[in-house]
């Protein structure tokens, strides 16, 4: 396999140099099974599991027997909160539960490598030297992304994931109001968010950290 190289851009959108990407991170085959398992796990872990119903023992009232057992001509009844009655309890209804589960780290890493390989083949990975802002300014942050042609143009419909190795408070405040942009850390990136965005932007530091993380 040939060497994998991508240009590095500065904040003005000019190419400054090229950087070689690790083949074992960005150049591997796409494992669809690992990606599927990881996305299913991610979605399951996002579920709140708060749906709840009350059983006959939890519904208010119903402590007194409605009528005597025999002699009324009606069916016997022990509580007005029986599941057979209106406003009664629910049989086998949902209760709060935890839907989350974990996957082996090897599968998650394989899925992340596959996601990066897909984005690279599609030409949707951009490397920037660094993104720095001296004081909180959404206008300044948007200008940098416009220089890099990542703002989606007039339609503003491009979803961009910008990954850092670390991010300061001023920069985070500057980027948080851009509707087309999501910000994250390379050490916490996962396959789901890589695939969910049209373009993935990595700072040089984020690229090094992501490579180091996936080569362990």
Mean pLDDT of 59-87: 94
44 three-class SS: helix
180 close to 160: Cβ distance less than 8 angstroms: yes
Q: To the nearest whole number, what is the mean pLDDT of the chain?
A: 91
Q: Helix H segments across 128-201?
A: 138-147, 169-175, 191-196
Give the model confidence (pLDDT) of 158-190 as tens digits: 799 999 999 888 888 999 988 889 999 999 999
Domains within the chain, CATH numbers bracketed: 4-47+103-214 (3.40.1370.10), 51-98 (no CATH)
**Tell me, what's the pLDDT at 127?**
94
Question: Over 60: is that where the pLDDT of 157 sits?
Answer: no
Instruction: Write the CA distances from 166 to 22, 157, 163, 210, 213, integer angstroms.
Output: 21, 27, 9, 12, 14
Contacts of 68 (CB under 8 A, 6+ apart): none
């Amino acid at each position: 396999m040939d060497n994998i190289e991508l240009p590095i851009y500065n904040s003005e959108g000019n190419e400054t140099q090229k950087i070689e990407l690790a083949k074992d991170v960005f150049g591997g085959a796409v494992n669809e099974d690992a990606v599927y398992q990881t996305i299913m796990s991610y979605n399951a872990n996002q579920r709140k599991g708060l749906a709840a119903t009350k059983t006959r023992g939890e519904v208010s009232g119903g402590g007194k027997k409605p009528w005597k057992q025999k002699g009324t001509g009606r069916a016997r009844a022990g509580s007005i909160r029986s599941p057979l009655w209106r406003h009664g309890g629910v049989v086998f209804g949902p209760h709060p539960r935890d839907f989350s589960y974990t996957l082996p780290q090897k599968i998650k890493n394989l899925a992340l490598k596959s996601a990066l390989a897909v984005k690279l083949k599609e030409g949707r990975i951009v490397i920037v030297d660094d993104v720095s802002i001296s004081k909180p300014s959404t206008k300044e942050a948007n200008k940098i992304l416009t220089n890099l042609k990542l703002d989606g143009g007039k339609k503003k419909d491009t979803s961009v994931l910008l990954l850092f190795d670390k991010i300061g408070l001023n920069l985070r405040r500057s980027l948080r109001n851009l509707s087309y942009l999501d910000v994250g850390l390379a050490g916490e990136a996962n396959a789901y968010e890589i695939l969910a965005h049209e373009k993935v932007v990595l700072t040089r530091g984020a690229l090094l950290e992501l490579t180091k993380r996936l080569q362990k």
